[in-house]
Amino acid sequence: MYQITWRNFSAQSFHNAQNKLRTAPLWGVRFRNRLMHDGESTTLRDAILRHREEAYESAHRFERMSAADQQTILEFLSSL
């Protein structure tokens, strides 16, 4: 269903990540009422669709899914 790319940690990868935000773990996401680094998203759907830059393609894929598939993803996330 998804292609996952694993990357090794290195000093160079740390240096390249200095201006990036760390993604919060998804476990317990069902207990959060504010999402994203700025707390501006109040729903999982909004948080997914607000992704930009490296995550833009993931947000766009979610947007192109059928309503039923989107609901399945949201239900899964709500179970974490």
**Cβ distance 26 to 34 under 8 Å?**
no
What is the per-residue pLDDT across 32-75, written as a single tens digit (0 to 9) for each?
A: 888 887 888 889 899 888 887 777 888 899 999 999 999 999 99
What is the per-residue pLDDT across 1-42, written as a single tens digit (0 to 9) for each?
A: 566 665 665 555 555 666 666 677 788 888 888 888 788 888
Contacts of 26 by beta carbon, 8 Å cutoff, 6+ apart:
77, 80
**pTM assigned to the model:** 0.62
CA–CA dist 34, 44 (Å, integer): 9
**Cβ distance 61 to 69 under 8 Å?**
no
CA–CA dist 40, 43 (Å, integer): 9
